[in-house]
């Protein structure tokens, strides 16, 4: 058994023992929708956003409640985040679930993802891995660039929780997230390529994705923390002896061409 396999299995084992618990609340995040949604934003949402940016969370909450009760999905999402993070007091996952769920009905991608997270962790909604997977898939359809959603779908298929275990599907979703430069997904996808799990074994491609994973910080979606980080550098070192010098050179050239090694 190779060193990379041991590293991979140990990291995955630690990951899944802790996956049902939520991590520390995210750092400050933007409540501002994309510019192409500006015309859909209510005046109350916008005034609430300005209040939030100035640090007046109470006023933001008040304004967003007005807008949310008038069916503004941006305000409903923003309220969900306020309650989820406890910006104006205690964290309240039930209220977060209420407002995220309402925004999700209007196909708000962020809210749909957070409904999935709440099911995934059993916070504010009953612990339900199948519903979590369903919402992550919905969120990914709304926003195909949502790497966290793709990654979490991947681990659901990988582990066989919330979906029948299917390494082909797991590799597919890890690849989606990996292409969004999510380093944890790059590690998982590279490791699956190295082992031939769910995808044809390819050491050069595995080396490429593991090398990309090693070039940044590996972080996991909220609630998917593990005891120790995945060690991409160790995985790279373990697979290098399996490659010919020209294969390593081609991968490095590819990374340079894609301007990844210089970032």
DSSP letters for 211-226: HHHHTS-----TT---
3 or 131: which leads in pLDDT: 131
Q: What range does the domain containing 103 cover?
A: 3-19+37-257
Which residue has tokens 């070039």? Answer: 215
**Alpha-carbon distance values, 10 to 84, 159, 239 (Å):** 31, 14, 16
Q: How many independent structural domains does the chain possess? A: 1
Q: What is the pLDDT of residue 226?
A: 63
CATH code for position 15: 1.25.40.10
Which of 15-29, 38-52, 130-144, 158-172 is predicted least confidently? 15-29
Q: Choose among 40, 38, 56: nearest CA to 48.
A: 56
Residue 83 lies in a domain: yes
Q: pTM of the prediction?
A: 0.84
Q: 């991947």: which residue's tokens?
A: 154
- Domain membership of residue 263 (yes or no) is no
Q: Does residue 200 lie in a domain region?
A: yes
The yes-or-no verdict on residue 23 having pLDDT over 50 is: no
Residue 30 located in a structural domain: no
Query: Is residue 27 included in any domain, yes or no?
Result: no
CA atoms 45, 50, 53, 57: torsion sign: negative
Average the pLDDT over each of 21-35, 132-146, 156-170 and give the range with the smallest value. 21-35
Cα(122)–Cα(93) distance, rounded to whole angstroms? 10
Contact partners, residue 236, CB within 8 Å, separation at least 6: 207, 210, 211, 214
Residue 125 domain flag: yes
The candidate with the shortest Cα–Cα distance to 130, out of 157, 100, 93, 149, is 157
Average model confidence (pLDDT) across the chain: 86
Q: Write the DSSP symbol of residue 33.
A: P
Which pLDDT score, from 0 to 100, does residue 50 have?
Answer: 93
Burial class of residue 66 in the structure, from the number of CB atoms within 10 Å of its CB (0-12 exposed, 13-18 middle, 19+ buried): middle
Q: H-helix or E-strand containing 153?
A: helix 147-159
Write phi, then psi, for 48 (nearest 5 degrees). Answer: -65, -40
85, part of any domain: yes
Closest CA to 4 of 195, 246, 247, 223: 195
Residue 102 banded pLDDT, cuts 50, 70, 90: very high
Average confidence (pLDDT) over 140-164: 96
pLDDT confidence band for 1 (50 / 70 / 90): very low
**Tell me: the pLDDT tens digits for 51-84?**
999 999 999 999 999 999 999 999 999 999 999 9
Average pLDDT over residues 185-209: 98
* Nearest-angstrom CA–CA distance, 114 and 64: 18
Reported as a pLDDT band with limits 50, 70 and 90, residue 8 is low
223: left (phi over 0), alpha (psi -120 to 50) or beta: left
In a domain, 24, yes or no: no
DSSP state of 34: P
pLDDT number for residue 89: 87
């Amino acid at each position: 058994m190779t060193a990379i396999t041991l590293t991979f299995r140990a990291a995955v084992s630690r990951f899944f023992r802790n996956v049902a618990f939520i991590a520390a609340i995210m750092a400050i995040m933007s409540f501002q929708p994309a510019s192409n949604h500006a015309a859909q934003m209510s005046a109350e949402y916008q005034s609430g956003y300005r209040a939030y940016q100035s640090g007046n969370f109470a006023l933001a909450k008040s304004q967003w409640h007005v807008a949310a009760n008038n069916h503004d999905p941006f305000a409903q999402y923003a309220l969900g985040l306020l309650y989820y993070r406890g910006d104006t007091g205690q964290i309240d996952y039930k209220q977060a679930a209420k407002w995220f769920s309402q925004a999700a009905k209007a196909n708000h991608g962020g809210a749909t993802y957070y409904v999935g997270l709440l099911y995934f962790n059993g916070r504010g909604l009953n612990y339900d891995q199948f519903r979590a997977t369903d919402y992550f898939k919905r969120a990914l359809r709304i926003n195909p660039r949502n790497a966290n959603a793709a990654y979490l779908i991947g681990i659901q298929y990988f582990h066989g929780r919330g979906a029948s275990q299917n390494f082909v599907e797991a590799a597919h979703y890890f690849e989606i997230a990996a292409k969004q430069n999510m380093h944890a997904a790059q590690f998982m996808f590279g490791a699956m390529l190295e082992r031939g799990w769910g995808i044809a074994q390819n050491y050069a491609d595995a080396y490429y994705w593991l090398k990309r994973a090693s070039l940044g910080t590996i972080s996991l979606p909220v609630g998917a923390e593990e005891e120790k980080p995945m060690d991409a550098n160790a995985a790279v070192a373990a697979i290098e002896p399996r490659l010919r010098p020209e294969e390593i050179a081609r991968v490095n050239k590819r990374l340079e061409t894609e301007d990844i090694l210089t970032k």
